[in-house]
Amino acid sequence: FALYPPKLYFNCIPFKYENEKIEIIITQELIDNYDVALYLMRHNDIEGTLTIDSNDVLTFVGFTFISGKKITLEVEVNLKNKK
Give pLDDT, residue 82: 60
Task: Compute the average pLDDT of residues 12-23.
Answer: 93
Q: Is 4 exposed, middle or buried (0-12, 13-18, 19+ CB in 10 A)?
A: exposed
> Is residue 62 a contact partner of residue 47, using CB atoms and an 8 Å limit?
yes
73 touches 65 (CB < 8 A): no
> What is the reported pLDDT for 7?
92
**pLDDT for the residue 83:** 56
Going from the C-alpha of 40 to that of each of 5, 10, 43, the distances in angstroms are 7, 15, 6
- Rounded CA-CA distance 22/38 in Å is 20
pLDDT(2) > 80: no
Q: What are phi and psi of 37, to 5 degrees?
A: -175, 175
Q: What is the pLDDT of residues 35-83, one digit of tens each?
A: 999 998 888 999 999 999 999 999 999 999 988 899 999 999 999 876 5
Rg from Cα positions in the chain: 13
The answer to whether the pTM exceeds 0.75 is yes
